[in-house]
Structure 1
Amino acid sequence: MKLNRKTFDFLLMFPPLLLASFGIVMIYSASMVTTYIADQPAYSMMLRQLVWFGIATIAFLFACFFNYKIYQKMTKVIILILAILLVAVMLFGKEINYSKSWLYIGPFSVQPSEFVKIGLVMYLASVYTNKQEYIDDFFKAVLPPLVITSLLLGLIIQQPDIGTAGIIFSIACVVIFSSGIKFRHLSLLIGVGAILIVALGFHMMTDEKISRFTGAYQPFADPEHSGYQLIQSYIAIATGGLSGTGIGQGIQKLGYLTQAESDFIMAVISEELGIFGVLFVIVCIAVIVIRGFFIAMKCENKFGSLLAIGISAMFGIQTIINLGAISGLLPITGVPLPFVSYGGTSLLVSLFSVGVLNNIARHVNYNRYQEKVIETEDDRVEHTKIQNGKVSRNINYANSRKARH
């Protein structure tokens, strides 16, 4: 495919990079006091995020130029690598915030469950593209890929990381539904999957995990413990008002609101930048999601269409769950805000995924650009024929007049 500026989708390039840059600023604001108290440089978290931003930007640019159709041939290898990483977490992972979800590789720490989000989308998009001829057959087309999906979800729930497992399950349902399966098959899938996730989740639940659910809907019943975090989030949101207190001027991050730089960074944004800051983040993510679904509708390649739908759903679902947690509409599950929250793996996966989405958009734009070129060329040829026809008729008419005279 020929590279030119007309093939790039700038609505899928600028918003994610703008959000990631904005996130670095807000991470510094949210963490500078707590890191200083912990005898670390005030900019330490911001610096780590900046390093990951550099790595993620390279991944983003690579994904923009790497032909997305090649991923369809690599899905088996991708799934195998993901399974190995999740098993490695179970054996050698480090427990943080009551979840054993992290692998330390030298100076870097990675969260393999984040890679599962995009990897599973690629796998399901590839499998259901190949099964289009018999997609209505539940046992032949729909069920087999669910074995792999269930295996990966089981390993994530084992950590336990119920929030990430729920997101991945929801994304998988969107991709499977978009593949064209019957609605009753999807209903059966959602019902059984939800029951299994809830059952396994409660089996793996600790008192701390259960308190997140009770604290979400009755925070003032236990304001010192289970409801403390949500109440502090309420205070931050209420303090911000319309225009906020100003960047760096927030109070709740000063030891009151924990995880202010990661899961609850939107509460800090609301306090310091007000409703305008919140709307800026929501609009940027909405542009990415809506544009992604638009690209999916325009893409004539089934794999590309399902891949675009899965990536768009990933950003949309994760944003809804994060915003639901800080506002008390959903339990606190430790889900980061895409592009903005502190976390190198999350930022890497987010920028790489939107890079893949941009690559799909480039193929769509290139095909549409070629069609316009062909149409223009056809019109030019037709116009030339008409003009030649007129010239020919005029010559014949002139010759006939000469003959009469």
Structure 2
Amino acid sequence: MIKKFKYLDQFIFIPYFILSIFGTLMVYSASSYVAIGQDKNPEFYFIKQAVFVCIGFLISLFIFALKYTALKQKKLIMNAILVIVGLLIYLLIFGKEINGAKGWLDIGPVGIQPAEFAKISVIWYFAYIFSRRQQQIVRDFWSSMKQPAFLFAVILLLIAIQPDIGGAAIILFIGIIMIFASGVSTKLGITMGALGIAIILGVVELVRVFGTKLPFLQPYQYDRFVAFWDPFEVSESAGLQLVNSYYALSRGGLFGVGIGESVQKTGYLPEPYTDFIISILGEELGLVGVIVVLSLFSFLVLRIYLIGIRTKDPFGSLMCIGIATMFLIQASINLGGVLGLMPITGVTFPFISYGGSSTIVLTISIGLVLNVSAMNRKQEIEDNN
């Protein structure tokens, strides 16, 4: 492991480290008032997040230290997928409903979200399957996709009916991008992309016309669409979060009101340390603070995409593309909800928002990318020698 550190990609590790530390501090700032209101220590969520970040850091180092070939073991990958499917089924049957969804599994004092771990499991599985079937995908796309598409559909369905629409949407986009990157023809890729956009627009129009008459739409989910269409019309109910998000961002202005000085986190903006932590960041550090964070995060995502493009091994390439897509889509959905560009889905912002399962999955992903990057660097040095 010590020898492998000379291959550590600083352009991945440093942005990840800075975002994780800064995110932990923002969790403290955004959660302290809420913790006091819950009769807890002001540092309650800060300490938990710090523990999650430390555990994730150790896991990422362990994954980085593994031999690259160990990541491609079929038995390990399939067992991970089966465990995730089993946990998702268990949740639907025995899971405790929280805020209208069965998404949490309690293991002693710790709660985990299997849907979060499903994201990295799908990426890992698709990278393995597609890298082994590249020639088959080019020759006969539909035949080569039967098995992975079925398993993918099962996972999507199990997450969607929790219901966790945000998580399902992220996994759906990950799957689509990884299929595009697997070797499909440009014509087929464009056709599938257009079909996906048409389906999304069609669902939105169905919701607008039929509302809660639709069998798959819960009342609270319809309220999110109503808040998206006209948040100020329902500012005292469904639009409360979005309206107060606007107030927070507006109050922050260019340079913010100062770290710890947010007003919206004191009971006005629900979920200030999870879904809407970017609003608190904007209020306290202003537009400049938001741009700095988004720039650092964008650099990290682009760097991972670059590693994926440069990696000659198909498995590593697809792994990096899938992980970069997960980061990008998750951040986009969160920002879309915060800014009112799309309905609120309860998706957190990577590395900044509070969340144990999310933090662990994100750091596992960083460990995988660092492993792929180290393999590339080692190969380049050997080739040059």
TM-score normalised over the length of structure 2 = 0.92
Change (3 A) 1:181 1:71: same
Q: How does 1:21-32 map to 2 (within 5 A)?
A: 21-32=21-32
Residue 259 of structure 1 pairs with residue 271 of structure 2:
yes
Gap regions ≥5 residues in structure 2: 208-213
Residue 172 of structure 1 aligns to a residue in which SS?
helix
One-letter code of the match for 1:230?
L
Identity among equivalent positions (%) equals 37
Residue 328 of structure 1 pairs with residue 331 of structure 2:
no
Please give the alpha-carbon distance, in whole angstroms, between the structure 2 residues aligned to 1:66 and 1:198. 44
1:8 Cα deviation from its structure 2 partner: 1.0
1:47 Cα deviation from its structure 2 partner: 1.2
Q: Could you tell me whether the CA contact under 8 Å between 1:20 and 1:339 is conserved in 2?
A: yes
RMSD: 2.0
2:125 pairs with one of 120, 123, 126 = 123
Please give the alpha-carbon distance, in whole angstroms, between the structure 1 residues aligned to 2:264 and 2:364. 32
Structure 1 stretch 226-235 or stretch 127-136: which is displaced more?
127-136
Residue 3 of structure 2 aligns to a residue in which SS?
coil
Structure 1, residues 197-235: CA drift from partner, whole Å, max 9, x if none?
A: 959995332111111112012111211111111010000
Q: How does 1:214-363 map to 2 (within 5 A)?
A: 214-363=226-375
Residue 36 of structure 1 pairs with residue 36 of structure 2:
yes
1:276 Cα deviation from its structure 2 partner: 2.2
Q: Could you tell me whether the CA contact under 8 Å between 2:170 and 2:326 is conserved in 1?
A: yes
Structure 1, residues 81-133: CA drift from partner, whole Å, max 9, x if none?
A: 11011112112222222211000000100000000111001111111111112
Residue 210 of structure 1 pairs with residue 237 of structure 2:
no
Change (3 A) 1:4 1:78: closer
Residue 369 of structure 1 aligns to a residue in which SS?
helix
1:5 Cα deviation from its structure 2 partner: 4.4
Residue 78 of structure 1 aligns to a residue in which SS?
helix
Q: Could you tell me whether the CA contact under 8 Å between 1:68 and 1:356 is conserved in 2?
A: no
Residue 263 of structure 2 aligns to a residue in which SS?
coil
Residue 272 of structure 1 aligns to a residue in which SS?
helix
Alignment match, 1:69? 69
Residue 312 of structure 2 aligns to a residue in which SS?
coil
1:177 pairs with one of 177, 180, 183 = 180
Count of aligned pairs between the two proteins: 373
Change (3 A) 1:72 1:4: closer
Alignment match, 1:93? 95
Residue 34 of structure 1 aligns to a residue in which SS?
helix
Please give the alpha-carbon distance, in whole angstroms, between the structure 1 residues aligned to 2:60 and 2:291. 25
Change (3 A) 1:88 1:193: farther
Gap regions ≥5 residues in structure 1: 375-405
Alignment match, 1:400? none
1:174 Cα deviation from its structure 2 partner: 0.6
Change (3 A) 1:2 1:239: closer
Q: Could you tell me whether the CA contact under 8 Å between 1:7 and 1:365 is conserved in 2?
A: yes
Please give the alpha-carbon distance, in whole angstroms, between the structure 2 residues aligned to 1:221 and 1:70. 55
Q: Could you tell me whether the CA contact under 8 Å between 1:92 and 1:103 is conserved in 2?
A: no
One-letter code of the match for 1:126?
Y
1:312 Cα deviation from its structure 2 partner: 0.6
After the TM superposition, which segments of 4 or more aligned residues of structure 1 sit over 6 Å from their partners? none
Structure 1, residues 251-303: CA drift from partner, whole Å, max 9, x if none?
A: 00010000000000000000001122212221221111111111111111000
One-letter code of the match for 2:186?
F
Structure 1 stretch 344-353 or stretch 130-139: which is displaced more?
130-139
Q: Could you tell me whether the CA contact under 8 Å between 1:236 and 1:268 is conserved in 2?
A: yes
Structure 1, residues 36-81: CA drift from partner, whole Å, max 9, x if none?
A: 1121111111111112112111111112112343232222111111
Please give the alpha-carbon distance, in whole angstroms, between the structure 2 residues aligned to 1:253 and 1:247. 12
Q: Could you tell me whether the CA contact under 8 Å between 1:6 and 1:366 is conserved in 2?
A: no
TM-score normalised over the length of structure 1 = 0.88
Residue 261 of structure 2 aligns to a residue in which SS?
coil
Structure 1 stretch 185-194 or stretch 297-306: which is displaced more?
185-194
Residue 84 of structure 1 pairs with residue 86 of structure 2:
yes
Bigger radius of gyration, 1 or 2?
Answer: 1
1:152 Cα deviation from its structure 2 partner: 0.3
Change (3 A) 1:138 1:5: closer
Alignment match, 1:149? 152
Alignment match, 1:380? none
Q: Could you tell me whether the CA contact under 8 Å between 1:72 and 1:123 is conserved in 2?
A: no
Please give the alpha-carbon distance, in whole angstroms, between the structure 2 residues aligned to 1:56 and 1:95. 27
Residue 59 of structure 1 pairs with residue 59 of structure 2:
yes
